[in-house]
Structure 1
């Protein structure tokens, strides 16, 4: 669940300058800069970035905890147990107790999962048309996202991202490996929420999560949050023009079919008043949910793929409540 995060340790009591686990990278704006590489070594380029202000005794730690602990090419996610082990390992490496580390606060935090889907990610991305009322963006057929004021949602082809961000000499071998996985219908879709600050947690009824200890003690609640938010994602595939449609629904369905949801939404906002345009957009979403072609990939099949993955995760995350996850996903 936990991925990229920005951690702040105040009244830091450790010693970094002579720490053999760290690589010094000079100073910047009054802070000493260090890199804590993972078990793969410096050549893989996976590290936690440490910024220490000796005057204020403040240590900041950035980058992906998941990649650092599991490896740069890992498709696994941190479970409750592995997250605890990851933070314990970091505390040991920087020379503080876990009790001290648990008191560290954090700001930006990514909460995400890698999901196996039954169809290629490139086919799914264009179909994802809505998440809440957030503004949509898309890069090619690999990434789709939605930006809000306190958080964002980003979904992308995980295999392509791994190839893009790793050393060139790895790419050929890894490309063959990922192509082999794709041939066996192993498609990996990364879905992550970026919480911008503490207010993001407050707004999602997670105000009690204020430091690293709270994250670890309430780790299963992150799945609860993630599945609730995923219930708000809408996919648009081919609509079935049914006799059960009202005349108004038929007109909206035809416009959706011709223009697509993004254009339909823009025109509603541009031409109508706030309440009127919101009502029409909600009617369009209802049409998508009710009259999407059941033989094609759609919102429900996407949610079923997510649920199937959560059942796999439960093998390692024993206390995960699958019935609750199911209710969360299909609540809207």
Structure 2
């Protein structure tokens, strides 16, 4: 959408059933595939499809597109490689990779990305440490929340629709549901809060990445969970606007401690106090005013933090004000300039 506003024609090819156009972006279904192996087998068809678009710049995401990036550069095309995770560590929690192969896979992918950064016209990363890992040949583009335009009006309308008359507190978690992201711990926290006599329920919003939801149904706190599945961006924002505390209690595995979580920024944008893992990178960037930091390995600490927030409406209001003030400065409307400057530099070549 940021590129569209500069007058560019933007085509997004991705996994979807039917194409559509939104906010000036033309979304096009990519070649279908079955399973993860099928994603690599379809790369030839992907290459044919994207070359047919005759783009001035090809913006590719994730290691699966590295072979496509190399072929495009061989044809003399302008290519941007965009990696939104640190795969030198993130593959350590991929359950579909056999455990003995995870560390070699991390090393192999990170070295391949490093070499590709020497071939393509620009590389975008979301974590500060990745800039060093790419030998300085990468641009930091942070996960800032996008809040402006008609989307805000849609969120306000949905928020009114989702508001509820209730006598209980509402906790919320938005993101992929998996054990690697601490979903078990967040249910433990919910159980602990209820055991302390506070009537609370939890909205879970996000995809069931590991098929973990069926197992979670046996958790003692599941009766107080409302699992809403995967929701659109505006709907997720609307639920945030109607919650009391947002949770992001991720374990210290893979690159979690260095990956700035967009959900925290989105919580703050909607005035939602948070309880989140006390990782130095997160805390040093966000500060102490918009929520509570806890040791993700100590459920009792998180339970106490949630209970204190729920019992103190004035503190929740203070967190909300601090969060929205932070987002006034850190938002996509400001951060998009990094993306636009990258495109200007690539097109000037």
Do they superpose with TM above 0.5?
Answer: no
Which one has a bigger Cα radius of gyration? 1
Q: TM-score, normalised by structure 1?
A: 0.29
Q: Give TM-score, length-normalised by structure 2.
A: 0.28
Between Structure 1 and Structure 2, the one with more strand by share is 1
